[in-house]
């Protein structure tokens, strides 16, 4: 997606083949499992499955072109320290139609990406701080769950 470009529900005329749109976007959803760099853009195009517009199809074709040119970009896991690092962010009122924020996080175990997410927040935030704080709470919950999982697996995390 071009920087700063937002998709809206009524950007252009309806796309002539919504079944094709849904099928391709559904496949893209599965690709986010192994391609975390697609999470945000696929999240954006998924929001228009019920009534895709031609601009939404153009965005899907752009994602497909990106995949074609970056097929050799892969996640590589290497031995590293056992320390969790998390990063999160939210775009305040980024959805043009509902003014909900889209937020995401990525969590690394050492230098290896192990968890990521990008999704629209359920409520409208009153400020960018509120949107970021809400995302921090989601990220903290994910970190807590991962900590419990590692404890159950008898993997002890390095604490600074």
User: Which structure tokens are listed for 4?
Assistant: 């700063």
Report whether pLDDT(3) > 80.
no
Is the pTM for the entire model greater than 0.75?
A: no
Mean pLDDT, to the nearest integer, of 118-129?
Answer: 91
pLDDT in tens, 44-94: 899 999 999 999 999 999 999 999 999 888 788 899 888 999 999 998 888
3-state secondary structure 29-44: HHHCCCCHHHHHHHHH
What Å distances lie between residue 92 and 11, 86, 105, 126, CA to CA? 20, 20, 15, 9
Whether residue 3 contacts residue 80, with contact meaning beta carbons closer than 8 Å, is answered with: no
Q: What is the per-residue pLDDT for 94?
A: 81
Rounded CA-CA distance 61/65 in Å is 6
Element (H, E) at 102: strand 102-109
User: Mean pLDDT for the chain?
Assistant: 90
Q: Any idea which of 4-13, 33-42, 54-63, 130-139 has the lowest mean pLDDT?
A: 4-13
Rg of the chain in Å (alpha carbons) = 18
């Amino acid at each position: 997606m071009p920087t700063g470009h937002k998709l809206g529900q009524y950007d252009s005329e309806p796309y002539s083949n919504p079944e094709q749109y849904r099928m391709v976007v559904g496949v893209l959803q599965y690709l986010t499992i192994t391609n975390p760099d697609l999470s945000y853009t696929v999240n954006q195009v998924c929001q228009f499955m019920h009534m895709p517009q031609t601009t939404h199809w153009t965005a899907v074709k752009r994602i497909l072109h990106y995949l074609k040119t970056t097929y050799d970009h892969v996640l590589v896991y290497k031995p590293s320290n056992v320390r969790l690092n998390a990063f999160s962010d939210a775009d305040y009122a980024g959805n043009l139609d509902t003014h909900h924020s889209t937020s995401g996080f990525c969590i690394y175990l050492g230098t290896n990406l192990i968890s990521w997410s990008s999704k629209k927040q359920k409520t409208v935030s009153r400020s960018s701080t509120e949107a970021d704080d809400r995302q921090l709470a989601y990220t903290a919950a994910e970190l807590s769950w991962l900590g419990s999982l590692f404890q159950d697996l008898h993997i002890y995390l390095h604490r600074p």
